[in-house]
Structures are given as C-alpha cells and as structure tokens.
Amino acid sequence: MKKFIILVAVICSLQVHTTQAQQAFKVEVVGKGTPILFFPGFGCTSEVFAETVATLSKNHECHLFTFAGFGNVPPIELPWLSKIKDQVIEYVKNKQLSNSTIIGHSLGGTLGLWLAATETNLFKKIIVVDALPSTGALMVPNFNANTMVYDNPYSKQMLQMDSAAFRKMAVQMSAGMMLNKAKQIQVVDWMMLADKNTYVYGYIDLLKLDLREDIAKIRIPVIILAATHPNKSMIEQTYNKQYVLLQNKTFHYADKAAHFVMYDQPEWFINKVEENL
C-alpha cells in the first residue's frame, strides 16, 4: 500500500509539473473596466506596453501576456505558436472576457488576426501594431509555408551561437527596429533572456503562418498602426497587398517611426489607441 501511495504521489507530481511546463503564457491583470488583451512582439515581454498600460488601465482591465520562452516564462514543447493561440482562446472563454479588444505588436498583432479569424465572435476589435498577416511572405524570398521547417541550416547556426555572438546580433537587430536609441538596450536584454530553442523554432512557427486568405473571415474592426521607416511608399504597398482580403480595416501610418512604434512615436501611438478603443 505504501508503494502504491508513493507511486500515485509521483505520478500526480509529474502531471502537475507537465501541466505547469506547458503553460503557453503568463498573464498579469491591471486596472478595471472593459478588457484589453496585450500581446507583445517576438522575444519581448509585456513590459513593452508599460507606458500604454499606465494610461489605459485607468478605464480598462488590462491583461498583459508574456509568452512561453520569453522573460521568465518557462518554454513549452513545439509547436509553440499554435499552443499559444489555443490557450488564449481557452483563457478568454474561462475568464468570460466578453467584448475584449486585442492590442498586439508584431507577432502579437499577427496572433490577434489568427484569433479573430478562428473565433469570429469572441473579440470586439483588434489594434494591430506594425504586423502583417504573413511575416514569411515579407522576410523570405519565394515564400512557401510548406517549405519552412525547424531543421534548417540557419536554425542550426543560431542554436550554435555563443552568448557574445547572440548579443551582437541582438544589438544589430534592435538598432534596425527602432529610432529611439534609449530603448534599444531594453529590447536587447529581453532577447538575451529568451530561451534559445523558443527564439529559433518559435520564429519558424511565425514565418510559416500565412493568414492572407484567412483574414477574409474576420468580421470585427481591425485598426492597423504601421511604421513608415524607412520607406513609406513601399510599406503602404506591402500593407495594402497583404491586407487586401480584410474587409473591416483602417490604416494609420506613423511617420518617423520604425518597428517599435510605441517607442518611436509614443504620443501619436497612445492617441491613436485611445481614439480607436
């Protein structure tokens, strides 16, 4: 009997550990009012929205997500992004968050589009911050989602990088993603905290995701806040092409802003968000 009790205890312990390890995100809730879900971009934590939340939490219940493998949230098994999507739906339904708005930056904006195309009646509105239905179509020449695999030479190279090499890459990337030099080091620090496998393979999940046709299913309003640096005309062409099948959409273009619009044009950003809530 003692052996049986010990065995049951061990099994329960393993089940609890497995369940905890597979949590696809951590959520902090701040403020009261109508709910807003905040989804950060790839590699970032919910702190990327700190200034925005300081304003909006006065009248809204802000649900701040940090995804598995980023910040201090433990990584999960692959596929990474689809688990996040499924668990967000479960979270919203369990919390009974009716009429919630999604504010998503980069990866978070694309995730918002995926959620709205999957659950057409679950959300009220999406505010997409510098994000596209298909990141892969923008980043990969001759893009074909079916050819995107985890095991590829670039992924192997990334996984073999030591800390110094990875930080050098992170510094170069952050410099290209924002004009606000004071904020660049913060993004580098977030990237350095990321679980390496999540950073490499999670990005493959994002590149594989092609929602250019699926967004035709979205019925709620979608507000797109897009950066114009370095070429506004080219960026407008890209957005018009990728979002062509989305019916209920509004574009707002932020001048003198790169990918982190909330850092490069903070006043413009919060004004546009408040106007569209």
Q: In the structure, what pLDDT confidence band is assigned to residue 63 with cuts at 50, 70 and 90?
A: very high
Q: Is residue 21 part of a domain?
A: no
Q: Is residue 31 part of a domain?
A: no
Q: Is residue 18 part of a domain?
A: no
Q: Is residue 29 part of a domain?
A: no
Residue 1 per-residue DSSP state: -
Q: Is residue 76 part of a domain?
A: yes
Q: In the structure, what pLDDT confidence band is assigned to residue 15 with cuts at 50, 70 and 90?
A: very low
Q: Is residue 155 part of a domain?
A: yes
Q: How many CB atoms lie within 10 A of CB 183?
A: 18
3-state SS of 56-89? Answer: HCCCEEEEEEEECCCCCCCCCCCCHHHHHHHHHH
Tens of pLDDT, residues 72-91: 999 999 999 999 999 999 99
**What is the pLDDT averaged over residues 99-112?**
97
Q: 243: domain CATH number? A: 3.40.50.1820
Task: Report the distance separating Cα 140 and Cα 121, nearest Å.
Answer: 33
Report helix angle 163-177 to 181-193, nearest 10: 140
Prediction pTM value? 0.91
Q: Is residue 260 part of a domain?
A: yes
Tens of pLDDT, residues 158-170: 999 999 999 999 9
Q: In the structure, what pLDDT confidence band is assigned to residue 141 with cuts at 50, 70 and 90?
A: confident
Q: In the structure, what pLDDT confidence band is assigned to residue 236 with cuts at 50, 70 and 90?
A: very high
Work out how many domains the chain is built from and give that number: 1
CA dist 187 → 44, 65, 176, 250 (Å): 7, 16, 12, 28
Place of tokens 């009261």: 32
Q: Is residue 112 part of a domain?
A: yes
pLDDT of residue 8: 39
Residue 212 per-residue DSSP state: T
Print the domain residue range for 112. Answer: 41-276
pLDDT exceeds cutoff 90 at 12: no
- With a pLDDT cut of 70, the percent of the chain lying above it is 92
**What is the pLDDT averaged over residues 11-38?**
75
